[in-house]
Structure 1
Amino acid sequence: MRTEFDFTPLFRSTVGFDRMLDALLAAARVEHLENYPPYDIEKLGEDEYRVTLAVAGFHEDELTVTARQNMLVVAGDRRDREGAGDGSDGGGRQILHRGIAARAFERRFELADHVVVVGASLSNGLLTVDLRREVPEAMRPRRIEIGAPSPSRPRKQIEGKPEGERKAA
């Protein structure tokens, strides 16, 4: 059973949430999820994340990690080592059973605003991509000190006598 969600009321009553609502619509439309290669997403700290993909059999030069605006794309292609359909692996061995997946893949991860890729590494068949949220200084919350009014902006008086006249009275 498939349930359709109508996000139209949200579009009418929100401003600036277009990306989030579009992502919800895209998630609702997904019919078949590709599950290769398997992956984990970890939260390491308040602003640090890690994506780990199981890419057994792939070499570093067969993997591509691309960071686009709000998108992380990880792709793998082993075609250059494959035999011509004869069951060999291009290295003189003949494969009798292929249980380790060797197919090409492309896995996409939607990134939140200000999340950047810090680095990637391949070890023991696991590709690790480290991410960090880096909010620009201008967008970070800042504390505003409350102080005396400046001479260029004198304090407005709502009712009663000005402060100087009160003391004289």
Structure 2
Amino acid sequence: MRTIDLSPLYRSFIGSDHLASLVDAAARSEKQSTYPPYNIELLSDDKYRVTMAIAGFSKDDVTIQVEENTLTITGNKKVEGKENAERKYLHKGISERNFERKFQLGDHVKVLAADMENGLLHIDMERVIPDAKKPRTIEIGSRLLENERSQ
């Protein structure tokens, strides 16, 4: 594994310990399985889509959960029992194994919707920056009102 020296970042950024934890999380996720395959698309400046190829899974087999900036997609295929035991494959290339895939979401990224069509799971997301976090121009010589100071 490569070692990354983050000391130049610590000199330039305040709160870069958060950045270090993100790099550590990325290093851990490299060890993650490549199943199921997925794409991450940029639809517009603040809109994203994750598309996962989950052939053989139904809507009831898939769980999508967001907790503390982590999007977790879990697939648990229910075993059909007797019907699967009687099948004899000459070649089995369609994987039906259970999976769990996690994505680290950026600040203020919200999951809008999820849809499944033709074996593809689409999850749409958007970055919604609150007004308090948006840049604003301060006029020189202006005085802040009391309620603006508390923000």
Q: How many residues align?
A: 142
Q: CA deviation at 1:127?
A: 0.2
Q: Is the 8 A contact 1:4 1:28 kept in 2?
A: no
Map 1:5-154 to 2 at 5 A.
5-8=4-7, 10-11=9-10, 14-29=13-28, 32-78=31-77, 80-83=78-81, 88-89=83-84, 94-96=87-89, 97-144=91-138, 146=139
Q: CA deviation at 1:122?
A: 0.4
Structure 1 distance, partners of 2:99, 2:68, is 21
Q: TM-score if structure 2 supplies the norm length?
A: 0.80
CA RMSD of aligned residues (A): 2.6
* Uncovered stretches (5+) of structure 1, i.e. residues with no partner: 151-169
Q: Is the 8 A contact 1:5 1:28 kept in 2?
A: no
Q: CA deviation at 1:56?
A: 0.3
Structure 2 distance, partners of 1:18, 1:134, is 24
* Uncovered stretches (5+) of structure 2, i.e. residues with no partner: 144-151
Q: Secondary structure at the match of 1:22?
A: helix
Runs of 4+ in 1 over 6 A off after TM superposition: 147-150
